[in-house]
Structure 1
Amino acid sequence: MARAKQSVVVGVDGSEPSLRAALWAAGEAVLLSAPLHLVLVNNDPAREPHAKAVVHDISSSCRQAVPGLEITDEVSLGHPAEELVHRSASALLVVVGSRGQGAFKETLLGSTSAAVATHAASPVVVVPGTSTPTSGPVVVGIDSSTGSRAALRFAFGAAARRRSELIAVQALPNAYFIPGPYDHPDRDELVEAAEQSLADQVSACAGDFPDVLVRRVVSNVPPVQALREAADQAQLLVVGHRGVGGFTGLLVGSVARGVLHHAPCPVAVVPG
């Protein structure tokens, strides 16, 4: 028996940001040659008829935007974050809006999108509620962690599908930013080591994506600031689930909010 094709799963709630996320996911499904599956997680059985109408309307909008794409939709009862994390185990990609504002607004508030991005088994893309760029580079933040290597490979694939430039950003270790009355004695060594690490990691993936043009950047500003600045004109920002060195704790607390909710473009969070 043939295995079912993995879908791009998108969580929707009827808000404008969730519609933007669904339309972005539809475009990504085309690039991935994958079906699209829309899920509205409803925690009130009495509202199920309305929920079905909402998800049907979003499905229709996606079909109109991307004719010929295989699209399915459903209403599921449960806790939004838990349900989407559960579905990530069999998904090719999970997409959520950064915030929701519609009749089912509680399903896609910032805390839920952050929870899904942090715990999902598949890559997760968080799409901002504002208009998203359709051109520009793909930006990836990397270090020496396993999650970072997975993020780099994902970013190479995303850049290849878009035929865009890839900007690989490595922030210097936290020690570099510790203030003191004199220069850090190892700063030159830290910069040299970061540049070599970045070059080695990019080289390890580049052979599989010969058509992707790569620009390497070693940043001397704190990680979240470096990523936000690099992604200013980007169409996608990619980060690992958790990193070490310059990107330690990238998805913890205020740093998570800084990356996920204030990036100027969709953010892909890739597990190791």
Structure 2
Amino acid sequence: MSDLDNRRTQQDARADSGDVNRPTRYADALNRYLGAAGYEAIESKRAPAEPPFAATPSTGVVVVGADETPAGYTAVDHAAIEAELRGWNLRIVHVQPRRALSSARDAGALLLERLTDRVHACSPSIAVTSHLVVGSPASLLLSQSTSADLLVVGNRHGAASAAIGLSVADRLAGHHDGVIMVVRMPGRPTGTGFGTRPVVVGVEQPGVITPAALFALQEAGLRGCDLVMLSARHGLAPAGRTETIQGVLVHHRTAATDPASALTGLSHGAAAIVVGRRGFGGHPVTMLGSVSRAMVQHAGCPVFLV
């Protein structure tokens, strides 16, 4: 039985007691943004949202890079939801090339206005600011996010970036020294139940609460979903157990395979993947460990690098 099959068995058991439809703040917020995108809301109707997870700081800033692409819009949606869950402010940044025509800059200003209106319509409580800057996207987003508590960026590989294996998201993931969310979404709408899928975190030792695991626990608590804590490596005996930590149902799993493959597989049934970011050297490729780099490039859901 797979990890997610085990989780579904747990959910089926909770369904018998009526707990499967417990309120989730994340699903409620996701519905509003899906509706704004022109899609029919895909999550079930739920009770009023729960209060924020107690371990989250009461003030903070989410910075998101935005452009006219679907990846850009999706990144803003997810950044706004994260800001709403935490009660933090949102800063939307759009970068124009240095040689952009005035008409392009006007279009950029209109984009920021539309995105700000979109967030206000879906999440009226969020304080939103927007910034149009000129220059290199990766460098300027890094400078804009020096005081950010969370940096969010969409991920897409164009022809130019594919030639050297790096996108803006790759560069930011390699150089930003805070928490970054890389919004990898193969397509929208995302399918029924996305808002109640688990958060999955990769840990080296089973049951050990690493900084990535602590962040994942907080994220699951904010969303109101389960947490799957996966430890994977060749030679590790497959096992599983379940416990509740700070109100979050945590599924501890081990798998006898390489961690990148295991996490990539789970990512297609997860709402988010959380991994530690560990590498060496000064280049964006080597600043990420092999697992975190694989998640940025291949995961089937948004990825948090901690």
TM-score range normalised by the length of the shorter chain: 0.7 to 0.9
| Structure 1 residue 36, shift from structure 2 partner | 0.8
Two-structure CA RMSD over aligned residues (Å): 3.2
Which of residues 288, 295, 301 is equivalent to 1:251?
A: 288
| Partner residue, 1:160 | 221
CA distance in 1, matches of 2:68, 2:195: 23
> What per-residue deviation string (whole Å, max 9, x for no partner) do you get for residues 112-160 of structure 1?
101111211221111124235322111001126xxx8211111010011
> What per-residue deviation string (whole Å, max 9, x for no partner) do you get for residues 56-86 of structure 1?
1122222222223211111012211112222
Contact 1:36 1:69 in 2 (8 A): yes
> What per-residue deviation string (whole Å, max 9, x for no partner) do you get for residues 26-60 of structure 1?
11101011011100011235332221112211222
| Partner residue, 2:62 | 8
CA distance in 2, matches of 1:32, 1:259: 24
> What per-residue deviation string (whole Å, max 9, x for no partner) do you get for residues 159-210 of structure 1?
11011111011112xxx3xxxxxxxxxx4xx549xx8xx99xx99xx8xx52
Aligned-partner residue type, residue 96 of structure 2: N
| Partner residue, 2:113 | 56
| Partner residue, 2:129 | 72
Contact 1:250 1:256 in 2 (8 A): no
For 1:117, what is the secondary structure of its paired residue? helix
Task: Structure 1: give runs of 5+ residues left out of the alignment.
Answer: 177-186
| Structure 1 residue 256, shift from structure 2 partner | 5.3
Contact 2:237 2:255 in 1 (8 A): no
CA distance in 1, matches of 2:279, 2:177: 16
Task: Structure 2: give runs of 5+ residues left out of the alignment.
Answer: 1-58, 281-285
For 2:231, what is the secondary structure of its paired residue? strand
| Partner residue, 2:142 | 85
For 2:262, what is the secondary structure of its paired residue? helix
Contact 1:139 1:169 in 2 (8 A): yes
Contact 2:277 2:289 in 1 (8 A): no
Which of residues 240, 251, 254 is equivalent to 1:215?
A: 251
| Structure 1 residue 100, shift from structure 2 partner | 7.7
Aligned-partner residue type, residue 160 of structure 1: G
1:117 aligns with 2:176: no
CA distance in 2, matches of 1:243, 1:139: 21
| Partner residue, 1:233 | 269
CA distance in 2, matches of 1:120, 1:257: 14
Counterparts in 2 of 1:20 and 1:100: CA distance versus 1, 3 Å: farther
| Partner residue, 2:200 | 139
Aligned-partner residue type, residue 235 of structure 1: A
1:28 aligns with 2:28: no
Contact 1:239 1:269 in 2 (8 A): yes
Aligned-partner residue type, residue 109 of structure 2: K
> What per-residue deviation string (whole Å, max 9, x for no partner) do you get for residues 243-263 of structure 1?
79xxxx79357x656311321
Counterparts in 2 of 1:238 and 1:164: CA distance versus 1, 3 Å: same
CA distance in 2, matches of 1:48, 1:157: 39
- TM-score scaled by structure 1? 0.74
| Partner residue, 1:151 | 212
For 2:153, what is the secondary structure of its paired residue? strand
For 2:274, what is the secondary structure of its paired residue? strand
- Higher mean displacement: 76-85 or 24-33: 76-85
Give the share of equivalent positions with the same residue, in percent.
Answer: 30
Aligned-partner residue type, residue 230 of structure 1: L
CA distance in 2, matches of 1:159, 1:222: 24
| Structure 1 residue 110, shift from structure 2 partner | 5.6
Which of residues 39, 51, 55 is equivalent to 2:93?
A: 39
